[in-house]
Structure 1
Amino acid sequence: MSAPASPGAGAPSRRLWWILGWCVLAAITAVGAYALPWADVLAALAAAKWHWAIFAIVVSLAGWPFWILQWQLLAPKALRPSFGRMAQVTALSGAANTSLPMTGVVAAVGFLIVRGRLPASAAASVYAGDQLVTGIAKVGTLALASLLVPAPDWIRSGLLGLAGVVAVFTVALLVIAHGGAWVRAFAAQRGPRLSQALGHFADFVDHLEPMRHPGLGLAVVVLAFAKSGMEVLMVMTVQVAVGIPPSLPAAVLVVAALDLATMAPVSPGHLGVFEATVILCYQYLGVPLPLATAAALVQHGVVFLASLVSLAYLGWALPRDERGERRLDSP
């Protein structure tokens, strides 16, 4: 009689699939990079107006307050962190997404709990609301790109697919947000373990305040669109920096395409995927390959340096918070 197979025996581990996926991505990126006309790309970078690239970092950072306010309004009013503390949370989340986007949900919710001092149910509600309004903003950006330029078929297909997902998610959260009392009444009739789990879910439901208050929900959506608007302006600034005539339709197309291409955490910092997406957009619009590549490299560099600036803010803010907490704790 043979021994029973252990769970997962004979199947590659999840980690192995990730490693294989990254190796394939690295190989594709290396082949693509090898085919680029690097002499012309370096010439385009050498001719770039770097003061405009620095200004692009400033523009990128100008969208940060919109993100901070968005997460503040998504948090339950009774537990809402201060602007400074939510700035720390978003800086940490942004840095995690820039370097290791696969951390995603865990990192964002963890930072909301540890630095934002929110209970787990409130942190989860903030993240759920953020995903919804971010999805709405992405749908809006994709729709605008389709109106301004003859967008590629994959952009239009992505728009339809994402719009459907966002619509279902919106209806689900709207229905759930009004069911806290029902969930608690249902939990009271169940066993202790299930009742406890349902109680946590009811807390999550109660914290979905923007879904019950139209004015608050509208404000959060407007902030998400304002953040997307700053991304478009940053892309236009990069265009000026590398010598591409500034174009609003082209910038919207780049932002919309990146919204789709970077949804899945394929590589650390979206390395390779980011550059390929930007290059393909500009090539589709007729921009020469050297300029398109220079724009992709500068734009990704701007995003990365902006995240470093936010981390520098953390280096200043965290010690101040710790000193303040020690003073409060001292007799």
Structure 2
Amino acid sequence: MSVPAATDAAAPPSRRLWWILGWCVLALFTGIAAYALPWADVIAALAGAKWHWAVLAVFVSLAGWPFWILQWQLLAPKAHRPSFARMAQVTALSGAANTSLPMTGVVASVGFLIVRGRLPASAAASLYTVDQLVTGIGKVATLSLAALLVPVPDWIRSGLLALAGVMALVTVALLVAAHGGNRLRRLGIGLSPRPARLLGHVADFVDHLEPLRNPVLGSAVVLLTFAKTAAEVLMVMTVQVAVGIEPSVAAAVLVVAALDLATMAPVSPGHLGVFEATVILCYQYLGVPLPLATAAALIHHGVLFVASLVSLGYLGWALPQDDKGQRRLDEP
């Protein structure tokens, strides 16, 4: 009993620091919101919202889910590619983890790909790496579109330039690395067992970067990223209608682009506070009254939370069915 306790005490100081920082940020936002926001007007805006449009926004948000499932299917190495239903389970679990505990999202997503997707560790890591690459490309495209449609704030323009530079370097590095699996294995010949084994794992990771060696497959994955972004923009516009803001593609793209930047770092649990502040700032920048901007931010985040609950409901049905089917296959 004492060994696990010692392990738990020694392992997570950095994680604890993230949690402390996250809750401090959330507490700070809550304190500012308690004094700065006109809550009577915000409550009136929420009471006057067209809630059937908010419900529709949940379905629009869920409409982007199949694009994500198909994208991760295509990113998985062909030899280990899970079925659509199994990848739906993986993405639902990953989405729930990213919505509620984004600080552990990377580890959780790779773990779900291994445990539920039944991918080798190297394949799961390569899938998630390429996913982050195409996600970054999608963010650069969204930020660029926002800069074309509206005069964006300086912090978004600076973020766009920095992110574009980083993504260009990462893309070139991964494209070069994707063709180096055999070279890595040759380097391992003659080395001692441990370095040779390590190089073998890295070579396996590189071999699984299939979309970076197949232009058609890579283009399909990027197009699916754009499709997911389009669903997000449409969902934001639906929320605008719900709270009484005139629907605007430009405003919706700006909100999605700003959230892409603001939520890149897992600062608070579920991005609470940071998410709402970003949406409010965007709408205030566009001249939307503060009560309506706040109502839009709260409903927007609520829509994403409800959509994650729907995906968890799917898991509640799918996981037992999948386990029953596996037990039948295992029976002699």
Report the Cα offset of residue 20 of structure 1. Answer: 4.2
Q: How does 1:289-308 map to 2 (within 5 A)?
A: 289-308=290-309
Does structure 1 retain, via aligned residues, the 8 Å contact 2:26–2:272? no
Aligned equivalent of 1:119: 120
Does structure 1 retain, via aligned residues, the 8 Å contact 2:232–2:256? yes
Q: Distance in 2 between matches of 1:26 and 1:120?
A: 34
> Runs of 5+ in structure 1 lacking a partner?
1-12
Percent identity between the two aligned chains: 76
TM-score where L is the length of structure 2: 0.94
Structure 1: which amino acid aligns with 2:21? G
Structure 1: which amino acid aligns with 2:191? R
Q: Distance in 2 between matches of 1:23 and 1:47?
A: 31
Change (3 A) 1:74 1:40: same
Say if 2:32 is the partner of 1:32. yes
Say if 2:111 is the partner of 1:147. no
Say if 2:105 is the partner of 1:97. no
Aligned equivalent of 2:278: 277
Aligned equivalent of 2:161: 160
Aligned equivalent of 2:185: 184
Q: Deviations over 1:75-112 (max 9, x none)?
A: 00111000000000000000000000000211010000
Q: Distance in 2 between matches of 1:316 and 1:18?
A: 33
Q: Distance in 2 between matches of 1:57 and 1:217?
A: 29
Aligned equivalent of 1:193: 194
Report the Cα offset of residue 22 of structure 1. Answer: 3.0
Q: Deviations over 1:104-145 (max 9, x none)?
A: 211010000000000000000100010000000000000000
Q: Distance in 2 between matches of 1:16 and 1:319?
A: 34
Change (3 A) 1:308 1:171: same
Q: Deviations over 1:170-217 (max 9, x none)?
A: 001100000011001111131110000000110000000000000000
Q: Distance in 2 between matches of 1:18 and 1:184?
A: 38
Q: Distance in 2 between matches of 1:19 and 1:306?
A: 24
Q: How does 1:1-331 map to 2 (within 5 A)?
A: 13-15=13-15, 17-34=17-34, 35-331=36-332
Provide the aligned C-alpha RMSD in A.
Answer: 1.0
> Runs of 5+ in structure 2 lacking a partner?
1-12
Number of paired residues?
319
Q: Distance in 1 between matches of 2:258 and 2:220?
A: 25
Aligned equivalent of 1:3: none
Q: Distance in 2 between matches of 1:110 and 1:187?
A: 28
Q: Distance in 1 between matches of 2:209 and 2:238?
A: 37
SS in 2 for 1:173: helix
Q: Distance in 2 between matches of 1:319 and 1:26?
A: 36
Change (3 A) 1:125 1:16: closer
Q: Distance in 2 between matches of 1:203 and 1:330?
A: 33
TM-score where L is the length of structure 1: 0.95
Q: Deviations over 1:264-287 (max 9, x none)?
A: 000110000000000000000000
Change (3 A) 1:55 1:23: closer
Does structure 1 retain, via aligned residues, the 8 Å contact 2:143–2:156? yes
